[in-house]
Amino acid sequence: MKRPSRARKVRWWLAPAALVVLALAAWALVRQPALERQAAPPRVDPALVARGANLARLGLCASCHTVDPARPFAGGLGLHTPFGTVYSTNITPDARTGIGGWSPEAFERAMRRGVSRDGRLLYPAFPYNHYTKLAQDDMRALYAYFMTRPALAAPARENRMRFPFGFRPLLAFWNLLYLDESPWSQDAGQSAAWNRGAYVAEALAHCTACHTPRTLLGGPDLQRRLDGGEAEDWYAPALNANAPSPLPWTQAHLAAYLRTGIAPGHAVAAGPMQDVVVQLGQADPGDVAALATYIHGFLKQAPARATPARQSGPLPPPPDQDPDLARMRLGYETYAMACAACHDAGRGAGHGGASGAALQLQQAVALYDPDPRSLVHIIRDGIVPPEGEPGRWMPGFGTVLGNAQVTALAAYLRRYGAQAEPWPDLEKTVERTVQKARKQ
412 touches 331 (CB < 8 A): yes
361 touches 339 (CB < 8 A): yes
Q: Residue 353: pLDDT above 80?
A: no
Give DSSP secondary structure letters for 262-315. --TTSPPP-TTHHHHHHHHHTS-HHHHHHHHHHHHHHHTTSPP-S-GGGSSSPP
- When pLDDT is averaged across residues 184-189 and rounded to a whole number, the result is 96
- When pLDDT is averaged across residues 46-52 and rounded to a whole number, the result is 96
211-234 per-position pLDDT tens digit: 999 999 999 999 999 999 999 999
211 touches 202 (CB < 8 A): no
The domain ranges of the chain are 30-155, 192-299, 308-439
Q: Residue 389: pLDDT above 90?
A: no
pLDDT of residue 350: 42
- When pLDDT is averaged across residues 305-329 and rounded to a whole number, the result is 83
Nearest to 409 by CA among 339, 321, 322: 339
CA angle 298, 81, 381 (to 5 degrees): 80
pLDDT of residue 228: 97
- When pLDDT is averaged across residues 10-19 and rounded to a whole number, the result is 61
pLDDT of residue 40: 77
Rg (CA), the chain: 24
Residue 370 three-state SS: coil
Q: Residue 393: pLDDT above 90?
A: no
30-155 and 308-439 share one CATH topology?
A: yes
pLDDT of residue 17: 64
The CATH code that applies to domain 30-155 is 1.10.760
Q: Which CATH architecture has domain 308-439?
A: Orthogonal Bundle (1.10)
Q: Residue 390: pLDDT above 70?
A: no
Would strands 84-87 and 160-161 be described as parallel, antiparallel, or unpaired?
antiparallel
Within 8 A by CB and 6+ apart from 158, the residues are 87
Provide the pLDDT confidence category of residue 30 given band limits of 50, 70 and 90.
low
Q: What b/e string do you get for 258-272 counting C-beta neighbours within 10 Å, with b at 16 or more? A: bbbbbbebbbbbbbb
* Integer angstrom CA distances of residue 431 from 270, 395, 416: 21, 21, 23
